[in-house]
Amino acid sequence: MQASTDDITGWLHDWQDGDAIARDRVFTRLYAELKRLATVVLRGESGHDTMQPTALLNDALIKLTTAARAPAADDRDHFVRIVARAMRQVLVDRARRKLADKRGAGEAPLSLEGHDVALTASPGELLALDDALSALARLDARAAAVVELRVFAGLTIEQTAQALGIHSSSVNREWAHASAWLKQHWAS
């Protein structure tokens, strides 16, 4: 039996109020969808070829559950975006650990063309992208969210529009704006 969006939203709010059973219900209902998202993120990933989708998802969920407070998700789609961001953070943290002994000096930045950067980037390139994306988020949070969902979660324009609750033409504009900004500031 499929839980309605209202059930998941209610459970998210109950989790925020400290209800661990509601948290478990959210995980149970969304786990398969979130695992598919993790699979997309890792597909073809050269820098993280030893990590499995289940491990990535579980690490992201652990990150969320060990935080001082439950994620402030408004609804199911917002929660999926929060999990996608946590997956990005897990991959970035892993890349930072890999580079602890060797710094990727002189690496040329990858292009966002084809938006599979998260799948083919070296740890150094992934860190540079994360730094640039964090800077973009301070200037334009929605543009950064579009890049995050397209690059790290592998969502299409339409899926990104649905996740953000905006029209696909707005996603296209934000994608073009963010891509141009990142090309200018990525390796700077």
Residue 46 DSSP symbol:
S
Nearest to 151 by CA among 88, 72, 71: 88
pLDDT of residue 132: 86
Whole-prediction pTM: 0.56
pLDDT of residue 1: 38
Residues of the chain with pLDDT under 50: 1-2, 101, 104-111, 115, 188
Measured between alpha carbons, how far is 129 from 132 in angstroms, rounded to an integer? 5
pLDDT tens digits for 133-186?
Answer: 889 999 999 999 998 888 877 788 888 899 899 998 999 889 888 888 888 776
Q: How far is CA 83 from CA 71, 72, 114, 176, 183, in A?
A: 9, 12, 23, 24, 26
pLDDT of residue 138: 92
90 sits in the region (left: phi over 0; alpha: psi -120 to 50; else beta) called: alpha
